[in-house]
């Protein structure tokens, strides 16, 4: 049995848990806890350990989706989660510009961990005040050739599209290396 | 008994507030990570300041303020050796080389620049010596502390923001491939031109600052504005090299070579195609 791993990261409350929940065939193993810090009371619970979803590809292959803890004080887990990842997705709440700087930092951090392909998913594109994906590409200083994909994390089709775009990027990198 | 303590516990803003409100007279000695400053106050007003035991002479301050050329400053310094700043100022004003306003403006600016630098110190120690004032002959200019505190706090916030936006000075810059602003429409200051002339992927921002004798605050401010204008781009450090997959000692060697480098899995194209097909089906 072979397992592969994709990491879903992003700032606090960017929609990582919903993203994994939308596509996982198992109930997401998520260790959500009530939030104690007043500054982070945007939602009533946050991921203190990690989200963990699964997609069975065939009887010999399983894809795992790992969501990173959203709060900065758990960032010691990021590198551990990154070990052996196939690629990563940086999920950004397109309606909250105050989190863009943090998203950029997370992107840079993960990028420094491993030379794997990644994409940025501009979440909550169904909201009226969402920043367009192309603007996020500029704001987050995303490298040329890296995709910024519009996304609605609660919709399965949208999540599928994000995962497919990441896999296409992985293929493109393989083509370049050949 | 002199006031003394640690900047971690009682910051510069609080200290200046105290001196202002209590209308204190004396000298505040501040020892931070980046130097030692002495700030002198009379009845709650800042009157004199110097850093690291170096009291710059008046001709030098006037040169920095652009009131004298370098040659003029050197000539004057050679002729007035041993004379106090007050005497030098009188001499220059009487000879109509400068005006009284130039002297007070230059001294005030020098003093403020120095105090604003101290605002950025958040670790170190301080003590206040009551009634200790600059020696006779020094040029003093009273400056109300309310404005200094407000401006210092503003600069501190700006500094923090700049540090946030540009945390690493050991990265390089390059000219934007497609500048958002046409170059012919751009007006740059002398300082910006000095930085622009060193933009090269092989020069780090820190090196550019060193070449130009700029402080971290100055270089951050200029680089930030150039980045915002879309004139330059950050050259990202090269990604860590991919670890050759499959070797038995791969992890240990990679960890030894670079503790932060995370393994990239060895995956065949066919597996990725399998993933794509399965996800399309979902």
**Residue A102: which residues within 8 A CB-CB, separation 6 or more?**
A11, A12, A72
| Residue B265 distance to chain A (closest CA, Å) | 5
**Residue B116: which residues within 8 A CB-CB, separation 6 or more?**
B151, B152, B155
Q: Where are the alpha helices (DSSP H) in chain B?
A: 12-21, 58-64, 70-79, 85-94, 100-119, 145-165, 190-196, 205-211, 216-228, 250-257, 269-281
pLDDT string in tens for chain B (282-residue length): 457 888 888 889 888 988 888 889 999 999 998 899 999 999 999 999 998 888 888 888 888 777 888 788 888 888 887 788 888 888 888 888 888 888 888 889 889 989 998 988 889 999 999 888 887 778 888 999 998 999 888 888 888 888 888 878 888 888 776 665 555 566 777 788 888 878 888 888 998 888 887 888 889 989 988 888 778 888 865 555 544 333 334 444 444 344 444 456 778 888 899 999 999 998
Q: Which chain B residues are within 8 Å of A56, Cβ to Cβ? A: 278
Number of domains in chain B: 2
Q: Are residues B207 and B96 in the same domain?
A: no
Question: Which residue matches tokens 């020069």?
Answer: B203
Best residue in A25, A56, A84 to probe B by mutation, most B CBs within 10 Å? A84
Phi–psi pair at B204, nearest 5 degrees: -80, 165
Assigned token pair, A27:
């109930």
Q: Are residues B61 and B26 in the same domain?
A: yes
For chain B positions 128-187, those within 8 Å of chain A (CB to CB) are 164-165
For residue A159, pLDDT over 90 is answered with yes
Mean pLDDT of A13-31: 83
Answer yes or no: do B274 and A57 touch at CB < 8 A.
Answer: yes
Q: Which chain A residues are within 8 Å of B234, Cβ to Cβ? A: 141
The reported pLDDT for the residue numbered B193 is 80
Backbone CA torsion sign across A108, A96, A51, A71: positive
Residue-range definition of the domain harbouring residue B127? 3-160
Q: Give the nearest chain B residue to A166 (CA atoms).
A: B276
- Give me Rg for the CA atoms of chain A: 15
How many C-alpha atoms does B101 have within 13 Å on its Cβ side? 0
Per the domain annotation, does B165 fall within a domain? Answer: no
Per the domain annotation, does B167 fall within a domain? Answer: no
Phi–psi pair at B242, nearest 5 degrees: -65, 140
For residue A26, pLDDT over 80 is answered with no
CATH superfamily, region A2-177: P-loop containing nucleotide triphosphate hydrolases (3.40.50.300)
Q: With beta carbons less than 8 A apart as the criterion, state whether A112 and A9 touch.
A: no
Q: Which residue has the higher pLDDT, B80 or A74?
A: B80
ipTM of the complex, rounded to two decimals: 0.84
The reported pLDDT for the residue numbered B273 is 92
Mean pLDDT of A86-100: 92
Residue B71 to residue B68: CA distance in whole angstroms: 8
């Amino acid at each position: 049995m072979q397992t592969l791993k994709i990491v879903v990261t992003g700032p606090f409350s960017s929609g990582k848990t919903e993203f994994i929940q939308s596509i996982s065939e198992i109930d997401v193993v998520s260790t959500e806890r009530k939030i104690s810090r007043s500054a982070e009371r945007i939602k009533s619970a946050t991921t203190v350990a990690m989200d963990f979803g699964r997609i069975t590809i065939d009887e010999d292959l399983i894809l795992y989706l790992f969501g990173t803890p959203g709060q900065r004080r758990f960032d010691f887990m990021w590198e551990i989660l990154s070990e052996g990842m196939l690629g990563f997705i940086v999920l950004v709440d397109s309606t909250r510009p105050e989190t863009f700087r943090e998203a950029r930092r997370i992107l840079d951090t993960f990028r420094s961990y491993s030379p794997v392909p990644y994409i940025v998913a501009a979440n909550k594109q169904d909201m009226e005040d969402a920043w367009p994906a192309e603007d996020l590409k500029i704001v987050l200083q995303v490298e040329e050739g890296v995709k910024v994909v519009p996304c609605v994390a609660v919709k399965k089709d949208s999540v599928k599209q994000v995962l497919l775009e990441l896999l296409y990027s992985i293929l493109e990198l393989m083509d370049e290396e050949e | 008994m002199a006031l003394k303590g640690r900047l971690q516990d009682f910051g510069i803003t609080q200290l200046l507030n105290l001196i202002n409100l209590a209308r204190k007279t004396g000298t505040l000695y501040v020892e931070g990570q980046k130097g030692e400053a002495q700030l002198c106050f009379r009845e709650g007003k800042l009157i004199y300041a110097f850093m690291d035991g170096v009291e710059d002479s008046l001709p030098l301050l006037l040169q920095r303020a652009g009131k004298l050329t370098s040659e003029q400053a050197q000539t004057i310094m050679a002729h007035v050796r041993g004379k106090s700043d007050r005497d030098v100022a009188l001499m220059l004003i009487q000879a109509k080389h400068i005006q009284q306003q130039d002297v007070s403006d230059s001294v005030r600016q020098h003093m403020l620049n120095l105090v604003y630098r101290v605002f950025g110190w958040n670790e170190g120690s301080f003590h206040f010596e009551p009634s200790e004032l600059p020696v006779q002959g020094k040029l003093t200019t009273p400056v109300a502390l309310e404005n200094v505190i407000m401006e210092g706090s503003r600069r501190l916030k700006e500094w923090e923001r700049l540090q946030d936006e540009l945390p690493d000075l050991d990265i390089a810059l390059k000219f934007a491939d497609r500048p958002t602003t046409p170059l012919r429409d751009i007006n740059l200051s002398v300082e910006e031109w000095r930085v622009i002339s060193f933009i090269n992927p092989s020069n780090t921002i820190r090196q550019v600052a060193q070449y130009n004798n700029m402080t971290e605050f100055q270089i951050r401010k200029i680089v930030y504005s150039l980045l915002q204008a879309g004139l330059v781009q950050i050259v990202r450090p090269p990604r860590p090299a991919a670890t050759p997959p499959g070797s038995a000692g791969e992890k240990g060697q990679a960890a030894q070579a670079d503790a932060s480098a995370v393994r990239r899995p060895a995956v065949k194209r066919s597996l990725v195609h399998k993933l794509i097909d399965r996800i399309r089906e979902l």
